[in-house]
Homo-oligomer: A and B are copies of this chain.
């Protein structure tokens, strides 16, 4: 194995000089610097991560707690993970994968043994039992999602309340007076995973303000459940002309089922979804949607951690403003006469 000593010898400088060339923490003359870099390259030197961690008490690793329950919204999770890994790499950080299922103190062990410098936790619930333990950690922590009481913790997420409001405003602006919300599965509301509830409250609040009637219908992630939901939402007496879908698992089926029932999108019914852009764009009918900006969230989470590691970043809750993309699945509401 080839060490920093070998490099120093090869370049005719001291070990510390090589170290400073690598870290840039001290000015080094360009001549020396080039000679050293050349030697590094020539010898194929890779600094030993363990030794580095020991000497500098920095591992350049961040721990990522991922919910690996398969029932969950995989594509979104994957996007988050991908964006986090990418953002981390951009800061020369690696990602250690922890699963939510491992015992609660796994995160503690990982930081206590100096395996990671910081922690990102995905899929936090409103009153997540891990919260107290996370507050105890002496490393920076960023949550993706916002718990009921975020004091002392940094969080980043889409602003679901604003997103809910935005969907209704969009439809109201097009003249829709009665809309349906196909929501997350009931257990998600019960777990009070925060985001589902917040989205819903954004929807209802905005509906009240705009004088729109809204029919809320949580929906299990199965074809049968969806079918029932639509049965009930499409009863003519409700006069629903617009549909808000916050349930990725059944999103594809919604479009299929509407078609099956001879409801054309958007001529007969407008549909707007909350989901990642790629998903909205690849539906049989491209859907107007509010994006779940996984990339941005991941990048921001990493950014916050880096600031936390550097100077002192006070705990902060960052809510991202919703961005609506019109893909033509929402149009002016059919006039009452048409119905």
A77 to B77, CA, bound (A): 12
> What is the oligomeric copy number?
2
Least CB distance from A95 to B in Å reads 5
User: How many chain-A residues does the 8 Å CB contact rule pick out?
Assistant: 49
With A46-B113, A260-B260 known as contacts, the answer to whether A78 contacts B85 (CB < 8 A) is no
Q: Does A64 contact B (CB under 8 A)?
A: yes
A99 to B83, CA, bound (A): 10
A224 to B283, CA, bound (A): 10
With A74-B75, A115-B94 known as contacts, the answer to whether A68 contacts B47 (CB < 8 A) is no
With A82-B99, A252-B223 known as contacts, the answer to whether A50 contacts B59 (CB < 8 A) is yes
Q: Does A122 contact B (CB under 8 A)?
A: no
29 pairs across A/B with beta carbons < 8 Å? A44-B112, A46-B112, A48-B54, A49-B50, A50-B51, A50-B53, A50-B114, A54-B54, A68-B81, A68-B82, A68-B85, A70-B78, A70-B79, A70-B278, A74-B74, A74-B75, A82-B99, A85-B97, A85-B98, A85-B99, A86-B99, A89-B102, A94-B115, A97-B97, A222-B284, A223-B256, A223-B284, A252-B253, A260-B260
Q: Which 3 pairs from chain A and chain B are nearest by CB?
A: A50-B53, A46-B112, A68-B82
Most chain-B CB neighbours within 10 Å: which of A68, A78, A109, A260?
Answer: A78
Partner of A64 from the list B53, B64, B97, B115 (CB cut-off 8 Å) is: B97
